[in-house]
Amino acid sequence: MLKSLTAGSGPLLRLTLRRDRLRLPLWVLGLSLFMTALVPVFQHLLIAGDNNQVFALMMENPAMVALVGPVYGAAHFHTGAAYANMMLVFCLIFTALMNIFLLTRHTRQDEEEGRLELIRSLPVGRLAGLSAALLEALLANVLLALLTGLGLYALRGTGMDLAGCLLFGGILGATGLVFAGLTAICCQLTANNRTATGLALGLLMFFYLLRAAGDIIGEALALLSPLGLALRSQVFVTNHVWPVFVLLLEAALLAALAMALASRRDLGQGLIPAHPGRAQAAASLSSPLGLAFRLSRISALVWAYALFILAGTYASVFGEMEAFITGNAMLSALFAASPDFSVTEQFIGLLTAVMAMLSAIPMLTTLARVVSEERQGRAEQLLGLPVARRQLLGAYLGIALVMSLVYPAIIALGFYGVGILVYPQTPALSTFLIASYSYVPALWVLLGLMALLAAALPRRLALGYSYLGFSFFAVYFGRLMDLPPWVQRLTPLGHVPAYPMEAFRAAPLLALTALALALIVPAFLLYRRRDVQTQ
């Protein structure tokens, strides 16, 4: 019975791999390189010298435990223990995101766009599409586990043996498969791709918060989360293998449940009926701007909340930061550029740059909707009405620009609001506001580049995200690893004065604003002339 239901999975797997011949290597290689490239930073910078216990004490701060998990191996905090404690939970989240987007792309999105209906007209089994997507996820996670494990061992620091490196990769792969199974279930329950993706991302956030609460309140609660279970492997400390087997068992059960649910529902429908909605649309939906806002509002609010929490979490360790940096010779030299500023003030510039780049993600995603709406056929229906193309592009760009003005205030309030509670010497709110808003013109340049790609090269929107990733590397690692200044100058964020360490200067910000306009204006002209994307 199962064999007939999954007939044709092999050819469909080859088709999905061909479709993802660029996307999948970028995910796997990009994540593995990102994870392994940070090992030298921990080995030679963060825990260098005899004061690595200060780093361990900083990680034991309750806010840091909620952010990254409990501290293991604090008595002998070598590179491996520090790396796993700081990075494992973030690596798990990135792996989960890879699986969420892969599964929704080849299940619910293909079904929504009519590809699966065409495939089902051929002699293939009812579950062939889902089984092919799950097999691709299995392949991707195995490759990610192997490349990450071997890469960590190649760049290994103290305490990072081969068994620990392979366990780190195995934990990533097993957790990724769990979220692949969860996403597959979400795709059966919901009636469209957006809802399925939102539900899967909501589950990821729920399990992250459940893990955070469990790590603070009680371990039993954290074990209910795949993320909390993965952290109990205590990689590079005790190297427990049993969480990998538990996660693999969970992944198998979830995949089986997804297959069972898929066999019970009709094509194009979800097991949970879609809400019929109002008989008449709200007046706000009568314009492209109102519709774009309706489609983007939940994502924008979730990101606003996440940015505030993350800024507050960073601020919660302001008190320990000075002791940590002064106890590390390399970091002391790095942040001793001026005796007129405290260590916290010197660190604000780097933290603000990181938060600005994180806030750029929802802005670029919102702007990219103008292309995704075209590919799904909805933009064509709008443009068939008395709606100008400039209105459609302007709606999504306008919302992204508003986000670029609101998010810096949220970040500054997160830094100041929590910082003043735990560290009396926290700088004034105006310091955080100036530092945050200094990056707004640079964000406008990134939006201008994304708008130009949407107008001229809609199939190459990934270049905008890639450039943001390069900006993160150039600004963050450029300062930590003392890369040549010209590397930072290749990104607009590298031209922003690092306030308060550097005096506020209007000239580079005005130049960045002019550059943003120089990108946005031709974007509108090109978008008006090109054909509408249909797939």
279 falls within a domain: no
**Residues 194 and 341 grouped into a single domain:** no
**Residues 104 and 139 grouped into a single domain:** yes
278 falls within a domain: no
488 falls within a domain: yes
The residue type at 65: V
**Residues 134 and 173 grouped into a single domain:** yes
121 falls within a domain: yes
Confidence of residue 326 (pLDDT cuts 50, 70, 90): low
460 falls within a domain: yes
Close Cβ partners of 108 (under 8 Å, ≥ 6 residues apart):
187, 190, 192, 193, 196, 197
**Residues 308 and 253 grouped into a single domain:** no
Q: What is the pLDDT of residue 264?
A: 84
- Domain stops at, among 241, 273, 305: 273
482 falls within a domain: yes
**Residues 106 and 249 grouped into a single domain:** yes
151 falls within a domain: yes
Query: Quick one: which of 430, 445, 429 has its CA closest to 496?
Result: 445
Range of the domain at 533: 285-535
Q: What is the pLDDT of residue 517?
A: 92
Confidence of residue 139 (pLDDT cuts 50, 70, 90): very high
Hey, how many other C-beta atoms are within 10 angstroms of the C-beta on 421? 12
475 falls within a domain: yes
Query: What pLDDT, in 10s, does the model give residues 82-122?
Result: 888 888 988 999 899 999 989 998 888 878 777 777 777 77
Per the model's pLDDT, the better-predicted residue between 46 and 123 turns out to be 123
Residues above pLDDT 90, as percent of the chain = 23
Hey, how many other C-beta atoms are within 10 angstroms of the C-beta on 213? 16
- Domain stops at, among 273, 301, 333: 273
Q: CA angle, 521 as apex, 517 and 523 as ends, to 5°?
A: 115
Token pair listed for 147: 């490349």
Q: How many folded domains does the chain comprise?
A: 2
**Calpha distance 296→12 (Å, rounded):** 33
Query: What pLDDT, in 10s, does the model give residues 285-324?
Result: 767 777 778 878 888 888 888 888 888 877 877 766 666 5
**Residues 160 and 239 grouped into a single domain:** yes
**Residues 113 and 161 grouped into a single domain:** yes
**Residues 187 and 68 grouped into a single domain:** yes
Close Cβ partners of 376 (under 8 Å, ≥ 6 residues apart):
112, 113
pLDDT reading at 338 higher than 60: no
- Domain stops at, among 227, 244, 273: 273
CB distance 363 to 94 below 8 Å: no
Q: CA angle, 245 as apex, 243 and 251 as ends, to 5°?
A: 100
The angle that helices 162-189 and 242-262 make with each other, rounded to 10 degrees, is 20
**Residues 206 and 186 grouped into a single domain:** yes
**Residues 367 and 318 grouped into a single domain:** yes
* Chain centre distance of CA 13: 26
Compute the average pLDDT of residues 500-508. Answer: 80
**Residues 42 and 140 grouped into a single domain:** yes
Residue indicated by tokens 């926290």 = 426
Hey, how many other C-beta atoms are within 10 angstroms of the C-beta on 282? 9
Q: What is the pLDDT of residue 255?
A: 93
Task: Give the three-class secondary structure for 114.
Answer: coil
Hey, how many other C-beta atoms are within 10 angstroms of the C-beta on 123? 8
**Residues 231 and 295 grouped into a single domain:** no
